[in-house]
Amino acid sequence: MNTQANIAPLTTTSWIEHLPEAALLVDAGRDLIVAANSAMGRMIGKDRRSLTGTPCTHLFTDQRPQLIAFTEETLFRSHGWSRDFMIKHRDGHTLELEISSSRVGEAESQNVLLLLRDRRQLRTLRERHDANHYHRGGLLEWRRVEELFKDMERENQLILHAVGEGIYGVDAEGRTTFANPAAERMLGWRIDELMGRVIHRVVHHSHEDGSLYPLKECPIYAAFRDASVKRVGEDWFWRKDGTGFPVEYTSTPILDNGHPVGAVVVFRDISPRLQAQKELQQALEEVESLKHRLEMENAYLQEELSAEYHFHEIFGQSEAIKAIVRRIGMVAPTDANVLITGESGTGKELIARAIHQSSTRRDRPLIRVNCAAIPKDLFESEFFGHIKGAFTGAVSDRVGRFELADGGTLFLDEVGEIPLELQGKLLRVLQDQQFERVGENRTRAVDVRVIAATNRDLKAEVQDKTFREDLYFRLNVFPIESVPLRRRAEDIPILAREFLNRACQKFNRAPLMLRERDVETLKAYHWPGNVRELENVIERQVITADGKLDLDLPGSEGSGRPSAEAMPPARHFDGELMTESELRDLEKRNLIRALEMSGGRVFGDDGAAALLGIKPTTLSSRLKKWKLEPKMFQDTATALQQ
């Protein structure tokens, strides 16, 4: 009879009951205790049967993350060991544990066997064993060994204390075997707290962003797993207080007869280096920004220098000019905003430059912005700048005019052309001296003085709700009127002689004289284009002159153009005062006549703008103001030619 047939196989509960130590069989995948032996029940003061079917993590309530990492390590390595866990007895006191673990079953099994030992009881057993051992070996031998180890420890400590980098060692299971003082200082852990613990779970358990760092991906463990040196340029370690810091480290395997038995890790805190790199990068970005700004300023100044400025000084002896000079002298030393009003061609930009050059800001640039020439959708970018990618076509960062004018003066020419919906943004910058580039959240502060100029009646536009009243008062702190040339006829000879001398030098012509009758002809003309038109007329005469001037002005004899009397009926200006309404009518008739003569052309050498001696953008603005369409006059030129 087969005796084996009469022996029943041991159940799970039976074989775990025969283990000499407290034991738990855990289904790690479901976090359930499959079985527990009587020794386990005695350890925590509970019936072992009450543990079966309950979550294992309930026994380690405050150590759930460590338990998950530990069981993961056991399933990965097939076994594990730890001295990091604690468990509470039924009566409330806490037991410090040493746990051995192993995977049970096939490779895909999630069952883990845990053997738990009371560390206090183990210390008692070890002390008793050591005492018996040394007692048998003799006191002399014990002292010799003790002194030998003390000498070795002293030498090792001297070396470890002298090194500034953090150094620690791990065995083949990843448990800490030693650490130097530098490692203690950087990690915040004492050596006795690290000894015997799996250091990956202590200082290397998570990435910088807090995501889990699996043990199998750790380069430190790969060093003795692959028996090769691993160097990592940037990684993350965690301190005892929960804060982290960037590190670089080298993990070197320790070999015994060709077999890895552990590794030595040398690491350093690279926070100062990264901070220095960050500061250097910020400094380089600042230098690049300043370089870009200087390039913009230089390009702007080169543009200004290459442009044809009609005059660099204010010429004239009239009371109107003297009054303007006095007002420039009063306001220039201050930082008050100035609003210069007057017709086109009267020298509003010249007044702005004179204010800037007489101010304390003269060493910084005067940045000019022609508000009438800026497209509506590019207003913010032109004024405040933009960053790369802020909108389609923004391929790089751009410095705006306000930023370029920082410390200097911003001249807003034709300020009345700014669209109403955009005036509020300009007002905010004038009030706060702060702005943001398009597409950027960073607020930038500037110190800019604003001088604005316009040929429009802003006060009337404020009443018509086409210009913001608060912006008008912000700009009109100190008003200056640029007087039209017809109201200071006594300055015409002075200006004409200056322009004549310059034109002769410019076109390399022999000097020409201005005769008395030429002066009278010039003074008799009403100069709708003001000083700019006067200069254009003089230059044209120098180009066509054959040894002497032959002035050809509208209304003068020999002129091929229709005279002012040929225009629609209106009171002719004979030196008497004219009302504002009469002046507006005169301006409108003059524009219509220019369009008729040019066939509706605005641009070009024979366009209406050239005939009037003004900029095409200025003419376009005036035509828009009077609601005149140039194409309406295209047939007129044909009729005049016939």
Q: What are the structural domain ranges in the chain? A: 4-124, 142-269, 308-481, 484-560, 567-642
The vertex-156 CA angle with 150 and 161, nearest 5°, equals 120
Spatial contact of 370 and 452, defined as CB atoms under 8 Å apart: no
Which residues of 163-294 form beta strands (DSSP E)?
166-171, 176-179, 230-238, 244-256, 259-269
Place of tokens 């090792």: 156
* Of residues 246, 403, 344, 234, the one with CA closest to residue 622: 344
Which CATH architecture best describes the domain 4-124?
A: 2-Layer Sandwich (3.30)
| Topology annotation, domain 308-481 | Rossmann fold (3.40.50)
Positions in the chain whose pLDDT score sits under 50: 1-10, 303, 305-312, 555-575, 636-642
- pLDDT value, residue 569: 45
DSSP string, 94-111: EEEEEEEEEEESSTT--E
Tell me the HSE value of 244 on the side-chain side, using a 13 A CA sphere. 16
- pLDDT value, residue 576: 53
Class of the CATH domain delimited by 484-560 = mainly alpha
Spatial contact of 117 and 139, defined as CB atoms under 8 Å apart: no
State residue 338 phi and psi, 5-degree precision: -125, 135
- pLDDT value, residue 563: 36
| Topology annotation, domain 142-269 | Beta-Lactamase (3.30.450)
Q: Which amino acid is at 520?
A: E
Question: What is the model's pTM?
Answer: 0.46
- pLDDT value, residue 246: 93
Spatial contact of 344 and 614, defined as CB atoms under 8 Å apart: yes
- pLDDT value, residue 383: 86
- pLDDT value, residue 441: 83
- pLDDT value, residue 296: 63
State residue 284 phi and psi, 5-degree precision: -65, -40
* Dist CA 232 CA 268 (whole Å): 11
Between the CA atoms of 591, 597, 599 and 602, what dihedral angle is there, to the nearest 10 degrees?
Answer: -50
Contacts of 170 (CB under 8 A, 6+ apart): 176, 177, 199, 220, 224, 262, 263, 265
* Dist CA 194 CA 177 (whole Å): 8
| Topology annotation, domain 567-642 | Arc Repressor Mutant, subunit A (1.10.10)
Tell me the HSE value of 611 on the side-chain side, using a 13 A CA sphere. 21
- pLDDT value, residue 573: 46
Q: Do the domains at 4-124 and 142-269 have one common CATH topology?
A: yes
- pLDDT value, residue 468: 92
* Dist CA 304 CA 309 (whole Å): 9
